[in-house]
Amino acid sequence: MSRAALLPARKRSGDEERLSLLRASVREGAENRPGVYQMSGEDGAVLYVGKSKRLRTRLLGYFRCAPEEKGARILRETSRITWEYCPSEFAALLAELRHIRRKWPRFNVAMKRDLGRYAVIKVTRSPAPKLHVARGPARDAGALYYGPFTGAGRVREAVRALSNALGLRDCAEDVPIHWSDQQALFSLGQRTPGCIRYEIKRCLGPCVAGCSSREYEDRVALARAFLEGRSDGPIARFREDMEAARARAEFERAAALRDRIQRLTALRAELDRLRFALGSLSFLYPVPGHDGDDRVYLIRRGRVRAEVPAPRSEDDRRALDRLAAEVFGPAEPAAAPVPPGDLDEVLLLTSWFQRFPEELARTLPAPGMKG
């Protein structure tokens, strides 16, 4: 159910009248139950999306804000308040996320800031993919994302070591790519390497025909195998190089290699913890709702895959069993990257169960889950 508080179409006589009309509409129409609300400007653009388990109290609170507070700043630009009721606070949290994900209102800086605390490792979708550490929600549907992580600087150092070890580029996306196996097809002329990483053999040089597309793809595959826990990547090779450097009394080089090993080992351990956490967030989650509107959420790897009313009959239970078989039955690799559009939902659910660990006690095991 959706309700709205809005101004008449006639010209407004001033801020006091505008606020008075909005406040009166909220008082008369909003109920104290879980819900999500949107505040829009005169042009219809959504300025802010919020949620509350006591919607009427939350909305009226805006009208008591001091002039310098964020709520007052939002109200100064608001011509319309709309809201919809949800069965529970958890349902309102999901609805808020989905509204923000679609519209990214400019006053929703809190969620943007929260998501910005996390870093993800992005494998770009270019002819010669590279590893990149990004912050915030993943928006590039064609790329692969691993994470989320805390400590962007530490992750960035580990990714740099991985890229250097495998010879992956780190130049700008618009740098033209020229493969060595293009030479037979096109005359590329004489090229001078313009990248110090290529000259010191830390990059295969896909921009200067330093490698074939197949050679580069093989290195990207090794990077993905490391990020997905299927390989130790260059750690073993770094260890061999470190021991050899020590044997030659090259202690500075040995120390640098030791630091690379530590960074990559820490990244691998964090990836292992993340895979375990995502695997743990797979279950049926029954949530009591307002006025008996109870729901069951089918959560797999930190994402809500389906939502249904709580079963009240034997037929309902059989229908839930069939749905659970569809959601949890197909195998999914535990190491698979999280789809970019779902990273913010993984963060949200992780935060919810961390804040309310007692909610985990009410979850039910996922029946017959594979992978």
Q: Angle formed by the axes of helices 89-103 and 343-355, to 10°?
A: 150
Lowest mean pLDDT among 88-97, 109-118, 133-142: 109-118
Who has greater pLDDT, 285 or 142? Answer: 285
3-state secondary structure of 122: strand
Q: Note the pLDDT of residue 208.
A: 85
**For all residues of the chain together, what is the average pLDDT?**
85
Average pLDDT over residues 139-168: 82
* Span 44-64, pLDDT tens digits: 999 999 999 999 999 999 999
Lowest mean pLDDT among 4-18, 104-118, 140-154, 224-238: 4-18
Who has greater pLDDT, 351 or 56? Answer: 56
In the chain, residues under CATH classification 3.40.1440.10 are 2-107
Q: Note the pLDDT of residue 128.
A: 93
Evaluate whether 135 touches 112 at the Cβ level (below 8 Å). no
Q: Give bridge partners of residue 308 from the DSSP assignment.
A: 296
Could you tell me the two tokens for 109? 């800086």
Who has greater pLDDT, 281 or 6? Answer: 281
What does the alpha-carbon distance between residue 142 and residue 128 come to, in Å, rounded to a whole number? 14
Identify which of 84, 49, 92, 46 has the alpha carbon closest to the alpha carbon of residue 289.
Answer: 92
Over 70: is that where the pLDDT of 371 sits? no
Identify which of 364, 347, 337, 353 has the alpha carbon closest to the alpha carbon of residue 275.
Answer: 337
What does the alpha-carbon distance between residue 226 and residue 215 come to, in Å, rounded to a whole number? 17
**170 phi/psi in degrees, rounded to 5:** -135, 15
Share of the chain above pLDDT 90, in %: 46
Average pLDDT over residues 226-238: 84
Q: State the pLDDT confidence band at 9, using cuts at 50, 70 and 90.
A: very low
* Exposure class string for 286-309: b at 16+ Cβ within 10 A, else e: ebebbeebbbbbbbbbbbbeebee
Average pLDDT over residues 125-136: 86
Share of the chain above pLDDT 70, in %: 86
Q: Note the pLDDT of residue 186.
A: 46
3-state secondary structure of 82: strand
Identify which of 302, 326, 229 has the alpha carbon closest to the alpha carbon of residue 272.
Answer: 229
Report CA-CA distances (Å) from 20 to 12, 54, 105: 11, 21, 24
What does the alpha-carbon distance between residue 163 and residue 219 come to, in Å, rounded to a whole number? 9
What does the alpha-carbon distance between residue 112 and residue 366 come to, in Å, rounded to a whole number? 32
Evaluate whether 366 touches 324 at the Cβ level (below 8 Å). yes
Q: State the pLDDT confidence band at 116, using cuts at 50, 70 and 90.
A: low
Q: Note the pLDDT of residue 255.
A: 93
CB atoms within 10 A of CB 246: 15
Over 80: is that where the pLDDT of 142 sits? no
- CATH class held by domain 2-107: alpha beta
Q: Note the pLDDT of residue 189.
A: 47
Who has greater pLDDT, 238 or 186? Answer: 238
Could you tell me the two tokens for 287? 């949530």
